[in-house]
Amino acid sequence: MSNQRVSRRQFLNYTLTGVGGFMAAGMLMPMVRFAIDPVLKAEAGGDFITTGTAEDEITDVPTRVDFTFEQVDAWYTSEVTQTAWVYKDGSGKIVALSPTCKHLGCTVNWEGNPDEPEHFFCPCHNGLYEKSGKNVPGTPPTAPLDMFEARVSDDGILQLGPVVPNTIVK
């Protein structure tokens, strides 16, 4: 039998060090993960979301497309619904405009004001945009509507990606 015995003091030291280390790791791991999470998720922002709209349903008239996706924010996952105004331009290219007014962020609607046909209308301060998203001078918005990156899946369904600055307004 070994004559090396662990004293009560040593036993308490080992135990407290072990428990303390375990607790510190438990607190630090989430903090480290929280700090580097955006780096790990860098590519997620570039993901495209499949909508419920088929490419052949899209006409030259802006139509509201709602799409939902799961958003992971640290440990919290929520379901987010966004909207795009989608149409095909003269060359058949899909345009998907953001509905967020560039004045103070209200939601614009296509032909939302019967007195302003063929325009997006923002009800908050009577903002107006052309079909391309170009803001109409003399109304509060000072920049064109942003747009979603858009593509069509192999099975012909509209997919929408990140919001980018408007590229069709000259």
Residues that bind ligand FES (CB under 6 A): 101, 103-104, 106, 122, 124-125, 127, 140-141
User: Is 149 in contact with 161 (CB distance < 8 Å)?
Assistant: yes
CA distance 134 to 3: 87
Alpha-helical regions (H) of the chain: 8-40
Give the residue with the Cβ less far from ligand FES, 71 or 142. Answer: 142
CB-count burial class (<10 Å; 0-12, 13-18, 19+) for 80 = exposed
User: Is 132 in contact with 142 (CB distance < 8 Å)?
Assistant: no
Nearest approach, Cβ of residue 114 and ligand FES (Å): 17
Give the residue with the Cβ less far from ligand FES, 94 or 122. Answer: 122
Q: Compute the C-alpha angle 98/61/66, nearest 5°.
A: 40
Give the residue with the Cβ less far from ligand FES, 128 or 158. Answer: 128
Q: Which residue is nearest to ligand FES (CB)?
A: 127
Match 């497309």 to its residue by tokens: 65
Give the residue with the Cβ less far from ligand FES, 57 or 111. Answer: 111
Spell 58-78 as b/e; 16+ CB within 10 A means b: beeebeebebeeeeeeeeeee
Nearest approach, Cβ of residue 105 and ligand FES (Å): 6
Give the residue with the Cβ less far from ligand FES, 106 or 168. Answer: 106
Nearest approach, Cβ of residue 80 and ligand FES (Å): 21
Nearest approach, Cβ of residue 64 and ligand FES (Å): 17
Nearest approach, Cβ of residue 68 and ligand FES (Å): 24
